[in-house]
């Protein structure tokens, strides 16, 4: 299928990497380490879905890392205060959604550039958190560890939950009118407006949705460790944006799919453990990730050049 060519090509590269590992370092394929790796990436996947949707409407949100920290600490504090998980999740979603609402209103209604707005909220949220918490760790109660399940089961649940969430969002993008609008606004906001779509409203919804997803991701993060450290989530924005771009979401908006984001995130996540297994110096990790991102952007650039040359 021509339509999925971009996603399939990322899967192809991932396949090559896995084949190389199977040949040179079959130890990579032990169940428990793999499970841990994927469970650790599950929150990032959820965040990356949100970021991808924001990129699809031709915006960007670099404050996800800070939103993630705030939501994680908040969820941790609530859990430590004895709240049951069933109550912590909706409150975390609400908190994330409100942070998204602030970004969304500033971008969609005041028309401010999203890179600057979210740079400001990135710094403000991070510093605000430091101010309130003074760098304190949150010690979490035993009962919420792995959602109260044995570790392996908890990990499976987190992984399948994240993928199920992605599948739901991907379905919505393809089969709900608002999903269609996301693509239309990202391709050409003025054309969308002329077609009776409200670009500002669509933009706002994606920011709020992204915040809510960050709230969910924060809970998925919290249940994986005995404490929440205040620096959790720093650098997450780069990881999420990188996964989206590698997975074929056009940074200029309007094109890409969440399945591509999944492929992109898997590829990037496998680099570090693969290097350990292949005995390559760990300092190469970031360089290789950077090269992959560069390659993805170049593929995109060539494609756009070809389209415009027509």
Partner 1 sequence: MAERPLLVFRQITKSFGAVRALRGVDLEVRAGEVHALLGENGAGKSTLIKVATGAHAPDSGTIHLAGERLERLDPALARRRGIACIYQQPALFPELSVAENLALRLEPTSAWRRVVWSERRRMAATLLSRIGADIDPEREVRTLSMPEQQLVEIASAMGAGARVVIMDEPTASLTRREQERLFGIVTALRREGVAVIYISHRLEEILTLADRVTVLRDGQTVACHARAEVDEAALIRLMVGREVDQLYPASESAPGAVRLELKGLCCRAAGGRPVSLRVRAGEVYGLAGLVGAGRTELARTIFGLTPADAGEVWIDGSRVSIGSPQAAIAQGVAYVPEDRRRHGVVLELPVGQNISLAAWRRIFPLGWLRGDRERSEAEHFVRALSIKTPDTDAAAANLSGGNQQKVALARWLATRPRVLVLDEPTQGVDVGAKSEIHRLVRRFAAEGMAVLLISSDLPEVLGMSDRIGVMRGGELVAELPQGATAMDVMSAALGQTPSEGAA
Burial of 163 (0-12, 13-18, 19+ CB in 10 A): middle
Q: How many residues bind partner 1 (CB under 8 A)?
A: 24
Candidate ranges 19-27, 171-179, 216-224, 277-285; the one touching partner 1 (CB under 8 A)? 171-179
- Which positions ≥6 away from 244 have C-beta within 8 Å? 48, 51, 52, 55, 256, 260, 261, 264
DSSP state of 253: S
| Residue 60 structure tokens | 């960007």
Residue 180 near partner 1 by CB under 8 A: yes
Select 68 or 259, whichever has its Cβ closest to partner 1. 259
Q: Which two tokens stand for residue 156?
A: 């499976």
Binding string, 1-30, against partner 1, x = CB under 8 A? --x---------------------------
Which listed range, 5-13, 17-25, 26-34, 192-200, lies at the site for partner 1 (CB under 8 A)?
192-200
Q: Which is nearer to partner 1, 174 or 286 (CB)?
A: 174
- Report d(CA 300, CA 96) in Å as an integer: 31
| Residue 198 sits in the site that holds partner 1 (CB under 8 A) | yes
Q: Among residues 282, 306, 307, 309, which is the contact residue for partner 1, using CB under 8 A? A: 307
Give the separation between CA 23 and CA 241, rounded to whole angstroms.
31
Determine, following the binding rule CB under 8 A, whether residue 190 of this chain makes contact with partner 1. yes
Query: Least distance in Å: CB of 297 to partner 1?
Result: 18
User: Would you say how long the chain is, in residues?
Assistant: 310
Q: How far is the CB of 256 from partner 1 (least distance, A)?
A: 11
Interface residue with partner 1 among 144, 165, 197, 266 (CB under 8 A) is 197
CA nearest to 184, candidates 57, 303, 300, 51? 57
Q: Does 305 bind partner 1 (CB under 8 A)?
A: no
Please pick, from the candidates 30, 177, 282, 309, the single residue that binds partner 1 as defined by CB under 8 A. 177
CB neighbours (10 Å) of residue 136? 14
- Which residue of 40, 133, 193, 277 would you call a contact of partner 1, by CB under 8 A? 193
Please tell me whether residue 200 binds partner 1 under the rule CB under 8 A: no
CA separation for the pair 264, 24 (Å, rounded): 23
Q: Nearest approach, Cβ of 102 to partner 1 (angstroms)?
A: 25
Cα angle for residues 62, 64, 67 (degrees, 5° grid) = 135
Options 9-17, 145-153, 195-203, 207-215: segment touching partner 1 (CB under 8 A): 195-203
Q: Give the SS3 label for residue 197.
A: coil
- Minimal CA–CA distance to 73: which of 219, 240, 214, 239? 219
Residues 232-261 that bind partner 1 (CB under 8 A): 254-255
Q: Which residues bind to partner 1, rule: CB under 8 A? A: 3, 174-177, 179-180, 183-184, 187-188, 190-198, 254-255, 307, 310
């Amino acid at each position: 299928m021509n339509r999925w060519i971009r996603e399939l090509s990322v899967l192809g590269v991932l396949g090559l990497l896995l084949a190389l590992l199977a040949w040179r370092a079959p130890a990579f394929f032990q169940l428990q380490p793999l499970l841990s790796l994927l469970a650790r990436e599950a929150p990032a996947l959820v965040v990356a879905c949100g970021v991808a949707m924001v990129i699809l409407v031709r915006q960007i949100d670099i404050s996800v890392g800070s939103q993630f920290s705030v939501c994680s600490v908040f969820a941790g504090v609530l859990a430590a205060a004895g709240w049951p998980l069933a109550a912590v999740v909706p409150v975390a979603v609400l908190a994330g959604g409100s942070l998204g609402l602030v970004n969304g209103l500033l971008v969609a209604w005041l028309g401010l550039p999203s890179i600057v707005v979210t740079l400001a909220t990135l710094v403000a949220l991070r510093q605000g958190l430091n101010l309130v918490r003074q760098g304190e760790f949150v010690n979490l109660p035993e009962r919420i560890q792995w959602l109260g399940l044995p570790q392996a089961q908890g990990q499976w649940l987190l992984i399948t939950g994240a993928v199920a969430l992605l599948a739901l969002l991907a379905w919505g993008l393809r089969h709900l009118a608002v999903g269609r609008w996301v693509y239309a606004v990202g391709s050409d906001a003025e054309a969308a407006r002329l077609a009776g779509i409200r670009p500002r409203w669509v933009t706002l919804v994606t920011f709020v949705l992204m915040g809510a997803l960050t709230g969910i991701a924060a809970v998925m993060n919290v249940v994986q460790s005995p404490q929440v450290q205040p620096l959790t989530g720093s650098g997450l924005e780069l990881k999420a944006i990188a996964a989206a771009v590698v997975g074929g979401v056009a940074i200029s908006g309007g094109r890409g799919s969440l399945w591509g984001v999944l492929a992109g995130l898997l590829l990037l996540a496998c680099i570090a453990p693969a290097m350990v297994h292949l005995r390559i110096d760990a300092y190469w990790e970031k360089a290789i990730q950077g090269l992959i991102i560069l390659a993805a952007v170049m593929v995109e650039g060539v494609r756009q050049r070809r389209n415009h040359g027509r």
